[in-house]
Structure 1
């Protein structure tokens, strides 16, 4: 590895792994919300095999809302039972469900006006293809083991098919659900846990693709602005200081040695997806000669207590066969995961403070 910067010889590195042009990103997190007496009362009723609406003037709204959507006025808060039968007012057929759908077989989403309600509830109708129609009478089906969640109301079936579809494991009719709930009254549902997940795809930018390809070949690259001479790692095809476009001609091969400018010790807290269980360190590394800074880098072969500003470090590259481009995208502060396992002390004397202070990225 060169100790200084040099021009990148070629965007393609012989023997490097193929880098996908499309990057898939998933952002997900759990959260909890309080439901209040109206929505909480609705879910409490579902767990007991009942469907409720709320009075708003002369109307009954189902699902119950805290405010009337027509007037904006607060509803009465008085919950009344509706259904469990209703009438399909409109519908759309889903011929090929995917993992995000509530059923693993063809079904319909429908607006169902339950008996006793003046508005329609959007829900699922489990019925054979070709049998859905406006005006179809349907019956509610519940989970045999409710959890105080919206899907305690599992789906609706055509009223005419009730006798032939009531042997589905884990699913019961309203009378059976209510009888079970009567024997063991459910606790009021006051809060609900939700899992928020968003997956999106984006094309890997040319600069990101060059960076990922170089990392797979064991080279760390950056980009030098011809105006301010600052070096950015990874390359980004623009200079945020001067606001000018950059291109491949400004790419540089960077040294994989440098100095720790600052660090933080992270104490993990329990949350979904957390893999770390013990405190760990993340450092910023100022690369030699080019003054390019990589943030949030892991360290290896050193105790947390021994990490310090001024410490000289070098990259520990994963074997080529173990490198993966999956972690490289269009975002991140000097991402190296997938190619470099971390930065280890070189054993050289610490650098003086004035050689690395006041460096930001």
Structure 2
């Protein structure tokens, strides 16, 4: 009797998946011969979207794909209907006596379908408007119906395929709409610039929650360490990004400061010259004026864990010494949605088999 040791790798992936950033749903009631017929009711094909969220905040419509055979395209009116009943005409009365819609894709930002010709192979904008404009704010959950009406006798057709693809708005990048704002010149002058994040969610590490990827400040100042820069979340929680750093010359030239939790760089060590590629937030006191190098370095996602991303994010810039000034040109926040679902695969080894 021999004992043989085998190293067997068991990949347990039953509960493991990755949330796709794009989801495609196919309509029903496809391939019914000659159903597109003026003597019959309109053909309706429903593509059911099981997820929840709204167009513009959690999802966008990436595209609608059609394949239709018909011997007189100009007879047809093709309409997309949302679960709430909003209608968007994709194409109506186009193509004249020519035949078919073959691999026709409707997607925002492309030439109108009215510029095409049968069989309309390619990518076009809908005739009635942009998908994400017409359906902005509407819930995605439910049946997205494609309705095809045939106006005239003598020619018939078949809906062979209808698919609608949604994109999960995984990442959020928002910048202030404020114009460039002055910094200083007097002592104790405060400048505020804001971002309105319309999406909903919380900061955290669970699936569906968001992490702050980076905070961005594009600015210039003739004496960098006069500035104290504080981030204020919609909840009112404050985090010092930088207080009195950069020496006299660090922002003489317009520069962009990036604040990231994964940065190896301590901003308190920035004493002049161009800033490094990125820094950790400084942390520490937020009441002005703040002493130089007051913070030990903090992680934004730790300080703001559990807080809502929705609402007004404020960047407060305080000039604590007179005589020098500058400009804040832009302020941005980048958020990333956590998309892993399930457990990491388990690897089990070894397995003893006795023969």
Q: What range describes the TM-score normalised by the shorter chain of this pair?
A: under 0.3
Pick the structure with more helix per residue. 1
> Higher strand proportion, which one?
2
Pick 1 or 2: higher relative contact order, CA cutoff 8 A, min separation 6.
Answer: 2
- Structure of larger gyration radius: 1
